[in-house]
Amino acid sequence: KNAGREVLKVFFNTSLAETWEEGESSVDETTLGARRERYGPELNAGVLLLVAGVDIQTNRIECEIKGYGFGEESWGIEYKILLGDPKYEQVWKDLDEYLLRTWKHIHGINLPITAIAIDSGYLANEVYTFVSARQIRKVHGFIQRIFAIKGSKDALKPLINRPTRVGMQKVNLFTLGVNEAKEIINSRMKITESGPRYMHFPFEYDDEYFTQLTNEHAFIEKGVRRWVPRSAGAKVEALDIQVYALGALRIINTNWERLLENHEKRIKEFKEEKPEIT
C-alpha cells in the first residue's frame, strides 16, 4: 500500500473521527433518496442551530439551510433557488431577505441562521461586497455571521484554514479544503442509523438533489484520494453546498454544551411566557 494513502487513512479515522472505507467510495442517489423523512414544518427537537451554504451561478443563487445538533447530526431544512443574474443587485436583495428569516422549532422558539458560507469562486467582487457589510450582525436577537469562502484544489488541505483579507472591501476569506470536506460528507452519507454524524433529508427534496449529491467519486492519485465528477459537465451544486455548510459550521467552532444550555433556557422562557404551548 502507498504510505501516503495509509497516513491519510489514519488521519481520517483518528483526527477527524470519521470512518474511512476502502473500495467504492460513494453512495448512490437511490439509497439516499429512500431515506427522505417527513419532519416539517417545524425544526426537529435535535436541531440546536442552523447554518447555510450558498453557491453563486450565472443565472441564480442556490442555498441550502441545514440544522445541526450534538455529534454533528444534521437535518436538511430547505433547498432554495433564487433566480436572477448575480451581476445585478436584485437577486442579492432576495438572498439577504431569505437569510434574515427564522424557522420555528418544535418547542415553539424561532431560530435564525447562525452561520453562512458563500462561495466566491464566481463573481468574487460581488460576493465580497455582499459579505463586507454583513460579516457579523444581529438577527432577531441572535448573532449571525456570514463568511466568504473559496475551495482549495489541494487534496491535503485541511477543511478550515486561517482567513486572509481580500478585495477593496477587506473581507475575511476562508479557504476550505474541499477534499477533506467531501471525505467527511461521503462517510456520513454511509451512516444508516440516526445519531452522531447521521444526515437526515426531508421528503421535499427532489431526485435531482440526490443525483447532484452523489455525482462525484474518489480516485487515488499518488497515495491521495481526490474527488472528481463522474462525467464531464455533471452537476454537483448540492454536494458543493454541503461542503460550504459544513465549512460554516466548523468556522464558528461551536461549544455544543453551552449552546444546548442556552437553547434549553430559551425554550423554558418561551413556555413560561406562553404556558399554552406544550
* pLDDT given for residue 14 in this prediction: 56
Q: Please state the φ and ψ torsions of residue 134, each to the nearest 5 degrees.
A: -135, 20
Q: Three-state DSSP class for 43?
A: strand
Q: What is the mean pLDDT of each run of 10 residues along the chain (278 residues)?
A: 48 52 68 93 95 98 98 98 98 98 96 98 97 95 97 93 94 96 95 96 97 93 86 94 98 96 95 72
> What sign for the dihedral angle of Cα 12, 13, 19, 24?
positive
Give bridge partners of residue 177 from the DSSP assignment: 152
User: What is the model's pLDDT at position 212?
Assistant: 97
What pLDDT sits at residue 232? 87
β-partners of residue 163 are: none
C-alpha cell at 170: 477587506
Distances (CA, A) of 189 to 120, 142, 182: 26, 31, 10
**H-type alpha helices, 143-206:** 178-189
Residue whose C-alpha cell is 461521503: 186
Q: Phi and psi for 213 in degrees, rounded to 5?
A: -65, -25
Bridge partners for 111 per DSSP? 103
Task: Report strand pairing: 113-119 vs 49-56.
Answer: parallel
pLDDT given at position 166: 95
Residue 16, C-beta contacts closer than 8 angstroms, at least 6 positions apart: 180, 183, 184
Q: What gap in Å lies between CA 227 and CA 253, rounded to an integer? A: 26
* Strand, helix or coil for residue 67: strand
Q: What is the C-alpha separation between 210 and 30, in angstroms, rounded?
A: 8
Residue 274 has a pLDDT of: 76
Residue 10: what pLDDT?
53
In the prediction, which pLDDT does 22 show? 44
In this prediction, residue 129 carries a pLDDT of 97
